[in-house]
């Protein structure tokens, strides 16, 4: 078995894993977070009683389930309810009023939202609470490449420390579990969300005519080429009049995309307007 205290990738091993992760997900692993990768692989070597990273590499190369599990293990799934106050303000005060006004003559006024890279569900549930509170007809598709995260998201049970992040005005969307250890998300707003195991490297089968896409804190791990592909895929799935949210530290400047940047009172947002 591999000695877990003496683990170090050879240069070639690191490059092989790095290349595979990039090809399959678009995520770029730098030398700086090599240690993260080493730790994940170390656990696998111990679990499967393997003697080198190369043996594990061969397994994931030929076994799709193992590959997906591995890719899941290298994703960063950090998230919070109502994470970004500027996004919430832009959504409530700018995007939703504008979309409703734009759709007022349309027969189908439902707002279709995609939470791409939804992790454990806090983002789509926050959006769901906001839209329901505003009495808007809506549906949400929430997707991720992390199967483990999606299972948590689908359950919709969260502990007290997570729930604390939810503003009081939305607390009525939570029910305390019988054993008082968890809070459950209200069934009605939960049913508005379809969770989907989806890799952003591929085109989505479920998403079309989207009015709003959230892809927040996902593309920070991508290089320009993969980022551009994903952003242009979003463009294709979106309505001709629609909005895209990306993270604070992310930008589309210098990427070849057709989105227009709009400066609102609460911060920047990207718009498709044809």
CA angle 27, 223, 208 (to 5 degrees): 75
Would you count residue 145 as binding ligand SAM (CB under 6 A)?
yes
Would you count residue 25 as binding ligand SAM (CB under 6 A)?
yes
> Given candidates 157, 184, 199, 228, which one binds ligand SAM under the rule CB under 6 A?
199
Give Dmax (Cα) for the chain. Answer: 67
Would you count residue 141 as binding ligand SAM (CB under 6 A)?
no
The DSSP symbol for 226 reads H
Would you count residue 200 as binding ligand SAM (CB under 6 A)?
yes
Distances (CA, A) of 130 to 81, 107, 117, 189, 244: 11, 23, 19, 10, 17
Distances (CA, A) of 136 to 128, 175, 211: 10, 22, 13
The interface mask with ligand SAM, positions 27-46, x = CB under 6 A, is x-------------------
Would you count residue 201 as binding ligand SAM (CB under 6 A)?
yes
- Span interacting with ligand SAM, options 20-28, 49-57, 93-101, 263-271, rule CB under 6 A: 20-28
Query: Comparing C-alpha atoms, which of 269, 272, 274 is closest to residue 86?
Result: 269
Would you count residue 149 as binding ligand SAM (CB under 6 A)?
yes
Closest distance to ligand SAM from the beta carbon of 114 (Å): 11
Closest distance to ligand SAM from the beta carbon of 258 (Å): 22
Distances (CA, A) of 126 to 84, 116, 166, 196, 204: 10, 14, 8, 17, 22
Closest distance to ligand SAM from the beta carbon of 103 (Å): 25
Would you count residue 156 as binding ligand SAM (CB under 6 A)?
no
Restricting to residues 54-93, name those near ligand SAM by CB under 6 A.
75-79, 83
Distance CA 99, CA 149 (A): 30
Distance CA 106, CA 182 (A): 41
Residues that bind ligand SAM (CB under 6 A): 25-27, 75-79, 83, 117, 119, 123, 144-146, 149, 199-201, 216-218
């Amino acid at each position: 078995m591999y000695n877990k205290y003496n683990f170090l990738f050879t240069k070639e091993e690191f490059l092989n894993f790095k290349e595979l992760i990039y090809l399959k997900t678009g995520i770029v692993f730098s030398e700086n977070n090599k240690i993260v990768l080493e730790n994940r692989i170390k656990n696998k070597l111990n679990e499967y009683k393997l003697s080198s990273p190369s043996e594990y590499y061969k397994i994931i190369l030929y076994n799709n389930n193992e590959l997906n599990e591995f890719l899941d293990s290298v994703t960063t799934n950090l998230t919070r309810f109502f994470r970004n106050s500027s996004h919430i303000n832009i959504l409530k005060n700018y995007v939703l009023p504008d979309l409703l006004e734009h759709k007022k003559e349309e027969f189908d006024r439902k707002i279709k939202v995609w939470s791409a890279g939804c992790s454990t569900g806090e983002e789509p549930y926050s959006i769901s609470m906001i839209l329901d509170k505003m009495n808007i007809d809506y549906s949400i598709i929430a997707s991720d490449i992390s199967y483990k995260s999606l299972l948590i998201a689908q359950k919709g049970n969260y502990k007290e420390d997570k729930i604390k992040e939810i503003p009081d005005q939305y607390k009525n969307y939570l029910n305390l579990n019988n054993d008082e250890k968890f809070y459950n998300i209200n069934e009605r707003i939960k049913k508005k969300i379809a969770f989907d195991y989806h890799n952003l490297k591929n085109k989505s089968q479920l998403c079309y005519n989207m009015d709003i896409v959230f892809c927040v804190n996902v593309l920070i791990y991508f290089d320009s080429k993969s980022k551009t592909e994903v952003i242009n895929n979003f463009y294709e799935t979106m309505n001709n009049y629609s909005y895209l949210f990306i993270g604070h530290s992310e930008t589309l400047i210098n990427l070849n995309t057709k989105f227009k940047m709009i400066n609102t009172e609460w911060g920047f947002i990207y718009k498709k307007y044809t």
